[in-house]
Structure 1
Amino acid sequence: MDVIVNAAASADGKLSSRRREQLAISGADDFARVDRLRAASDAVVVGVGTVLADDPHLTVKDDDLRSQRREDGRPGNPARVVVDSRGRTPTDAAVLDDEATTYVCLSEAAPVDRRMALADHAELITAGEERVDLLRAFATLQEDGLEQLMVEGGGELIFSLFEAGLVDELRLFVGPKIIGGRDAPTLADGEGFVSEFPTLELAAVDRIDDGVVLTWRVEDR
């Protein structure tokens, strides 16, 4: 399995403001790059915080890219995966529409009523007691034939994936904004590392819109 984290951050490393409102950090060319990466992936992965804050569809926007996927014998859109330990995903969330298959990864702590509600809209994966065990959940996704996963956030999930040693590649658009704020989300939130920091190898630097896309491969996994 190949796990690619893709994100857009301000020049000072923030994903959004302290209000956690969605901001347009990149521009049209980078949006097209992200759409191509989605189209090349088997699934798009987000944490429940992103679903609650932004209500994304996580589908391929370009008609030609969707058509190409179908010509290749794949669904028009990649699957969607929500990491949601407690089953907080609303049943009317855009990510649960019928545009693509959706998996919701739960922990055993998710209430029964939430499981029952979500089971009508998504494939459920249970892994872990209090929090989703990402290693087990991703192994289940791989068993279902999902080989390239594109992770779109947020910062808590991205940190957890690095902590679990699951990230193969990081693609980061760094845009021309200063957001600031000690409480604004960053690329990798969570508890943070104090030792055994993941090591990255810079693979490419590409100027796009008014920023740059930095591509790193993860060395120590």
Structure 2
Amino acid sequence: MHVVVNAAASADGKLSSRRREQIAISGEADFDRVDRLRADSDAVVVGVGTVLADDPSLTVKDADRRERRLEDGEPANPARVVVDSKARTPLDAEIADDAARTYVCVSEAAPVDRRMELADRPDTELVTAGEDRVDLLRAFAALQAEGLEQIMVEGGGELIFSLFEVGLVDELRVFVGPKVIGGRDAPTLADGEGFVEEFPTLALESVDRIDDGVLLTWTADGGE
């Protein structure tokens, strides 16, 4: 399995405002890059906070890319995966439609009735891993067993931190856009509890200008 974290951050490292409202940090050129990355992925993963805040569809936008996937024997869109410890994903969320198969990763602490409601949705499969929170290692192993090898993670900051914490990130791609958002409570690329002793380090692979921003690509090198 190869896990790529992709994000757009402001020049001061914020993913959105302190109100956690979606902000257009990048432009059409970067949107197209993200769409290509989705089209090359087996699954797109987000945390439930992203679903609740933005209600994304996580589908491939370009019709030609969807057609190429079909010609290659793949579904038109990659699978959608929501990491949702308490099963808070709305039943009418965009990711719950029939555009692609959806996996909802929950913990055993999620209410049974909510789990049953999600599991009853067409094209939705429940992955239960962990007692109080989703055990990401177990959940991603279950996804791999389903044949999902190329994984794209689109946020948010809590999920990205947790993936680094358990060593699941292979690659990090960040578009740094020409905006300053500010705010001590605004979400950053990696939120969560934060590291205090052992810090994941990255090896810089490339730097590419896109419009007035820059795309930084790193690989995880396992150092401290």
Q: TM-score, normalised by structure 2?
A: 0.98
Match of 2:104 in 1: 104
d(CA) in 2 for partners of 1:115, 1:131: 14
Q: CA deviation at 1:107?
A: 0.2
d(CA) in 2 for partners of 1:180, 1:74: 41
Q: Which of 142, 164, 167 is 1:140 aligned to?
A: 142
Q: Which of 150, 163, 166 is 1:164 aligned to?
A: 166
Q: CA deviation at 1:195?
A: 1.3
Q: CA deviation at 1:196?
A: 1.2
d(CA) in 2 for partners of 1:195, 1:213: 28
Q: CA deviation at 1:144?
A: 0.4
Q: Give CA-to-partner distance per residue, 1:129-171, whole Å, 9 cap, x none.
A: 0000000000000000000100000000000000010000000
Query: What are the within-5 Å matches in structure 2 for residues 109-188 of structure 1?
Result: 109-121=109-121, 122-188=124-190
d(CA) in 2 for partners of 1:21, 1:60: 22
Runs of 4+ displaced beyond 3 Å: none
Q: For this pair of structures, how many residues does the alignment match?
A: 221
5+ residue gaps in structure 1? none
d(CA) in 2 for partners of 1:209, 1:72: 32
- Decide whether the 8 Å contact of 1:39 with 1:66 is kept in 2: yes
* Aligned residues with identical type, % of pairs: 79
Q: CA deviation at 1:120?
A: 1.5
- Decide whether the 8 Å contact of 1:25 with 1:175 is kept in 2: yes
Q: State the secondary structure of the residue aligned to 1:11.
A: coil
Query: What are the within-5 Å matches in structure 2 for residues 14-163 of structure 1?
Result: 14-121=14-121, 122-163=124-165
Q: State the secondary structure of the residue aligned to 2:30.
A: helix
RMSD: 0.6
Q: CA deviation at 1:55?
A: 0.3
d(CA) in 1 for partners of 2:105, 2:32: 28
d(CA) in 2 for partners of 1:218, 1:23: 28
2:174 alignment partner AA: L
5+ residue gaps in structure 2? none
Q: State the secondary structure of the residue aligned to 2:174.
A: strand
d(CA) in 1 for partners of 2:212, 2:99: 32
d(CA) in 1 for partners of 2:50, 2:3: 18
d(CA) in 2 for partners of 1:153, 1:38: 14
d(CA) in 1 for partners of 2:91, 2:213: 37
Q: Give CA-to-partner distance per residue, 1:94-147, whole Å, 9 cap, x none.
A: 001000000000000000110111012210000000000000000000000000
- Decide whether the 8 Å contact of 1:28 with 1:209 is kept in 2: no
Q: CA deviation at 1:220?
A: 0.4
Q: TM-score, normalised by structure 1?
A: 0.99
2:98 alignment partner AA: D
